[in-house]
Structure 1
Amino acid sequence: MPRPLVDLLWRDSPLAPAGGSRGPRARHSTGDVVTRAITLADEGGLSAVTVRALAQSLEMTAMSVYTHVNSRDDLLVLMTDHAHALMTATPFGRSTWRTRVRRVADDNLALLCAHPWLLDVDDPRTALGPGTIAKYDHELRAFDGTSISDLHRDAALTLVLDFIRSSAARIVTKPVTGDFGELWTQSVERLACYLGDEFAIAQRVGRAAGESMGGPYQADRAWEFGLARVIAGLADLDGLGAAPGGG
């Protein structure tokens, strides 16, 4: 009978129900299966994580893999929660809430750069896991020392994490065309010939931005600008604007 996903997520908890003792001891634990699956995903993306590939990598049968995880979807949840559990959480210390939010953002960006496949996992069941709950608890504490309401604390963190996720998708994706900056330099004058006097604002602003960034988009600059705007926007919330770090 399949084990409930919650039990699989909390399998290492001292409160977890004891497993059966019949039969020979398994060569690999559920933790081994999850760790190897993460390695496969890091190397080849989520498409590389199949039960067959995982079984071959661990020298197991596919049926043996299913004794540890109920399905590939459940496996992805377990992988995500384990990645969250191992995530670096920079201590907050006595810093302001603005500095703490920036640390949350930087830590999450580092996590997504290390494990880009996390961007392809969108399963709300990850919220049930110990690693994800510990991550959530730590990140909510970025607003300690303020009088922000609990609902706004959750919403503010969600806003920050949503910004990180969307920005990380651009940062971790490598251009398939090579050095786009060189392509931009070579193409921008020819492009202007086709545009003529049309789209005057797009041409003026695009030219200024392109000359500054060496292309139509610079992920690092967009990250810094966007994060600063998110933090500035949060300061409008009741309980944050007048708090230390509220500006």
Structure 2
Amino acid sequence: MSATSTGGGEPSRTLALLWGDPSAGPRRKGPGRSVTVEQVVAAALALADEHGLAAVTTRALAERVGISAMSVYTYVPGKPELLDLMVDAVYLAMTRPPWRSRSWRSRLTRVAEANRDLLRAHPWLTEVAALSRPPLGPGVMAKYEHELAAYDGTGLSEVDTDAALSYLLGFVQAHCRAAHDAARASTDSALSDADWWAANQPILERAFDPAAYPRAVRVGAAAGAAQGSAWDADRAWRFGLARTLDGLAALIDPGPAPRGG
């Protein structure tokens, strides 16, 4: 099984699987089904959460649910369709409390935080969840409907509402991918960021010439002292989310037009 993002399978086949259409039944002859598609998807999610997306192989899935490797293909035709089912399943499981706050910034902050929590719980999602080709299943539709409702009362057009949601989710996805990569780098090297900088301090002091790189040395030293490393995920999240919402405020709460010609 191999795939890199959602939306890579045969559309009609994938949609039938996502919505439980009978036409999604097996095309290959073989033994009767002993488990369900939902059980196969749940096993794939468990493997991805425990060991990463690379662990989701036909053999591992078969062992997890107790069927033969070839039988896996009687449930899902391939990795592209399986990825769509996995992503839609985690979206469907998200909680969707009603939007009670009258503040659009508060509502959109909750949208961002909910998606950040989801990507933290399932880091592999940052590798495959394509904003341009989401799996159009019940989970995606429920998530989309709920998050669009957070923009009610903002005065945005339908097109701008969709763009504003994509803009917010794009920030969350990019941030979580960076945080995931940073955490993986620390794990793979067995060095914390602080240890890495300490180990490289002698050569850095020689390479970072204040005369040649005055801004880089000055700003880098100030940022490093403030956050204890070259990059701090929580600080970057707070700063980035605030600036993202500020950008949307230019559309939602525009100030008075400037005077003059």
TM bin (shorter chain): 0.7 to 0.9
> What percent of counterpart residues are identical?
42
Aligned partner of 1:171 in structure 2 is 179
The structural deviation recorded for 1:163 is 0.4
The structural deviation recorded for 1:74 is 0.5
Aligned partner of 1:180 in structure 2 is 193
Structure 1: 5+ residue stretches without partners? none
The one-letter code sitting in structure 2 at the alignment partner of 1:7 is A
- Measured in 1, the distance between the counterparts of 2:36 and 2:23 equals 14
TM-score (ref. length: structure 2): 0.82
Aligned partner of 2:140 in structure 1 is 132
- Measured in 2, the distance between the counterparts of 1:122 and 1:146 equals 27
SS of 2:150 mapped into structure 1: helix
The structural deviation recorded for 1:26 is 2.6
- Measured in 2, the distance between the counterparts of 1:150 and 1:144 equals 10
Aligned partner of 1:241 in structure 2 is 253
The one-letter code sitting in structure 2 at the alignment partner of 1:111 is L
- Measured in 2, the distance between the counterparts of 1:69 and 1:19 equals 9
Is 217-226 or 56-65 further displaced after alignment?
56-65
1:110 aligns with 2:117: yes
The one-letter code sitting in structure 2 at the alignment partner of 1:223 is W
The structural deviation recorded for 1:57 is 1.4
Aligned partner of 2:96 in structure 1 is 89
8 Å CA contact 1:185–1:214 kept in 2: the answer is: no
Match among 217, 222, 233 for residue 208 of structure 1: 222
The structural deviation recorded for 1:185 is 4.5
The one-letter code sitting in structure 1 at the alignment partner of 2:207 is Y
1:10 aligns with 2:24: no
TM-score (ref. length: structure 1): 0.87
Aligned partner of 2:38 in structure 1 is 31
The one-letter code sitting in structure 2 at the alignment partner of 1:180 is D
User: For each residue in 1:26-53, what CA deviation from the matched residue of structure 2 results, as whole angstroms up to 9, or x when unmatched?
Assistant: 3211000001100000011110001111
- Measured in 2, the distance between the counterparts of 1:188 and 1:211 equals 14
The structural deviation recorded for 1:125 is 4.6
User: For each residue in 1:78-102, what CA deviation from the matched residue of structure 2 results, as whole angstroms up to 9, or x when unmatched?
Assistant: 0000011012334321331101110
8 Å CA contact 1:84–1:135 kept in 2: the answer is: yes
1:149 aligns with 2:150: no
Match among 180, 186, 194 for residue 207 of structure 2: 194
| Paired residue total | 234
